[in-house]
Every structure is written in C-alpha cells, then in structure tokens.
Structure 1
C-alpha cells in the first residue's frame, strides 16, 4: 500500500508543479486560444504520438471530434495514429520515421495546428513530422516531458512537464489535454 500511496503523491506533486507555474499556465492558455482561433477559421488540428502518447492523441481527437462536456458540433481534429494501412504502408515504403510526416504532407494545410505528444521529445517520427508541419506553415505544439528533447526545437509552443518519470509525464499530458478540451469546448458550446 505504501508504494501505491507514494505513486499517487508523486502524480499529485507533478500536477502541483504545473499548477504553480504561471508561465506554463499562460502558455497552456495561449495554445488553447490558438486552437480555438484556428478551428473558428475552419482549420484543423492534427495530433500524433507513439505508444501511450498515440493513445493520448486518439483520446484528444475523440473529445473534440465528438463531445467533451457541452453539446456542440464536431470539430475537425484527427489523430494520425489511427489508420493502420496508412501507417504500415508509409513505414514499409519510406521508413517508420516518416509515418507522421507523410500524413502531414498529405493532410496538413497552412494555418492548421500539429500537436506532437512525446514523453521524451526525441521520437524521430515526431521530429520529422514537426519539421514538415513547420515547412508547410502549420503551428506546431509539443506536449513534452523531461527536457523537451529535440522536438522542442521544432515547436512554436511547448508544454514540458516538469518530470523525468514517463508515467508522471503521461498523467500530466492527460490533464493538459483535458484543459485544452475545456477551453475549446467552452468556445464552441453554442455552436450546434
């Protein structure tokens, strides 16, 4: 039971660090506002991650394409992790490091937003994708951890969770995703 309690307290401590960091909170608010503006302009949000972060990308997209809290219209948000035929074709033909960048090339348009979710910030396929997104003119956002890795250098906006623990970072990413969903949901609650 002590290990469970220790783990829960470590999770709370990470979230308290975020809650007490005004710069982090302002950046979170800026990103949410940027997403609202893009969506109101008819632009879209593309999201990617690997492993647990791929699941987070799908969770984020589902909350916005479907419903978070308020009844509203569905929003143009897509996780680039869901189509196994696309992912395996690109991985086979071009290499796994291109599974997201090729989709950005195909689906991304200037003004769209690309969100990369990575606990380390060092996933080659996300670095390639963020680079492609920047070249096309997408706004790039990173939900990162540890020191932000290489990916932070390709992001217009980064939220780096103050932890070196993968599970603590993933838990905080879900909190951040839900806060972004709340900002967006609130802005669209009267759009049915």
Structure 2
C-alpha cells in the first residue's frame, strides 16, 4: 500500500501551500475557459466545480430517458442481445467503463451480460484503421458483431466524429438500435441516432456528466434485472 505523505513532514522542496490570493479568482458562475486573467490553481478548481452544476442540471432534466435506457437495455440483454459501445479518446474510456460494469457488476452481484467496447481490441483497431481508414474503424465492427435487437451506444462530446457517424449509419441498416451520449444538441450524431442524451456545457463537463449518466443507467439496469428475475423471466 502506498503511504500518503504525512502532513507534518517537510517536503524536500519545502511545505506545499496553495497560492490562494495570488491571482484573481473568476466570479461565481463564470464558465469561460480563458478570461484573460491568470487564475491560481485553487481558484481554477473552485471555478471548475461551480461550473459543472449547469451540466448536471442539463442531465437531471433527462433522467426519465436515462432510466428508460437502463430498463430497455436490461430487457434486451436478458433476452440474449448485446451492447456495442464506442467513442474516441476519453469517450472511448467511458464506453469501456460501461461495458466493464455489464460484464462484471455495477454494485450488487448479478449475472454477466454481453457488452463489447469496439476500441478495446488493439489488433483489430490497428488493422482496420490501417487497411480501411479510421472512419471505418467502428462501422466494420458493427457489421461483424451487431445483430438486430442489439444496442449501439456512441459517446462523443462534439457529436461530430466521422467514425461514430459511419457506425450509426451501418447500425441503422442492420436493425440495431442506436443511442448517443453527446454535448450540446442538435449535432450530427444526435440527428443520426434513434435517441440521444445531450449535455449542455463545455466538453470537460459533458464528459463528466456522461459518466454520471452511465452509472445512473446501470442502477436502472440492475433494478430492472432484479424485477425480471422476480417475475421469472430468463434469457
């Protein structure tokens, strides 16, 4: 176990003291990334934590859809369908976070369910990107893995990623339901998916709220799985 640095021990470069008051702190509610003034680290953190509230409120207004996605996904996966998930960069990490929750468990013990992160197989990713181009990265995998009744979840803060748009296009021709988690809507991805949860805010807050949305959806998923079990429903 890694020991934390004791607060009473002097660091070789001297004790750390936050530089509060050495630079101007942005006023409450100011979400601008660059105001032309220099913020000290503490002020920057406080401004970030304050400004995330707007994005959270945007997500809160879509709680019924989050719950509906969890319920629908539970019924599909319990019936033998699967979830495919994709994103780029941080959104790829969140897609993989979701599939891990379904393959393992979110909180309470339950059966594993079929969920595939389409970026996680590095050999497939590099082969497809090399031979067919990055734009085809996810579309080709959707054609390989997807079946009618499956769900493809696409995560993007901008909603403009060409490889996600191609994946949505292929899925729509295959009978796969498409869900998008994006930033401000309308955007190209939200317009090309069956349903969208769009977060209003700057990209960092959008991504933070995407993870909250996924965790909330997992709670709804687990709740529906328990209900189906009590009703005697089996895959």
Instruction: Name the SS for the 2:80 alignment partner.
Output: coil
CA separation in 2, counterparts of 1:74 and 1:14?
32
CA separation in 2, counterparts of 1:79 and 1:189?
25
> Aligned to 1:70, which of 95, 99, 108?
108
Q: Identify which range, 6-15 or 25-34, moves more after superposition.
A: 25-34
Residue 125 of structure 2 corresponds to 87
Residue 6 of structure 1 corresponds to 47
C-alpha RMSD over aligned residues: 1.3
Question: What is the TM-score of this pair, normalised by structure 1?
Answer: 0.93
Deviation at 1:148, TM superposition (A): 4.3
Residue 175 of structure 1 corresponds to 212
Give structure 2 stretches of 5+ with no counterpart: 1-41, 230-235
> Aligned to 1:41, which of 79, 85, 99?
79
Instruction: Name the SS for the 1:15 alignment partner.
Output: helix
1:1-192 matches, cutoff 5 A = 1-19=42-60, 21=61, 24-163=62-201, 165-189=202-226
Q: 1:155 to 1:62 in 2, by over 3 A?
A: same
- Considering fraction of residues, name the structure with more helix: 1
Give structure 1 stretches of 5+ with no counterpart: none
Instruction: Name the SS for the 1:158 alignment partner.
Output: strand
Instruction: Name the SS for the 2:160 alignment partner.
Output: coil
Asked if structure 1 preserves the Cα contact closer than 8 Å seen for 2:78 and 2:113, the reply is no
Query: How many pairs were matched up?
Result: 187
- Look at both structures and tell me which one has the larger radius of gyration over its CA atoms: 2
CA separation in 1, counterparts of 2:224 and 2:72?
12
Q: 1:88 to 1:148 in 2, by over 3 A?
A: farther
Asked if structure 1 preserves the Cα contact closer than 8 Å seen for 2:152 and 2:178, the reply is yes
**Greater RCO (Cα-Cα under 8 Å, separation 6 or more):** 1
Deviation at 1:186, TM superposition (A): 2.1
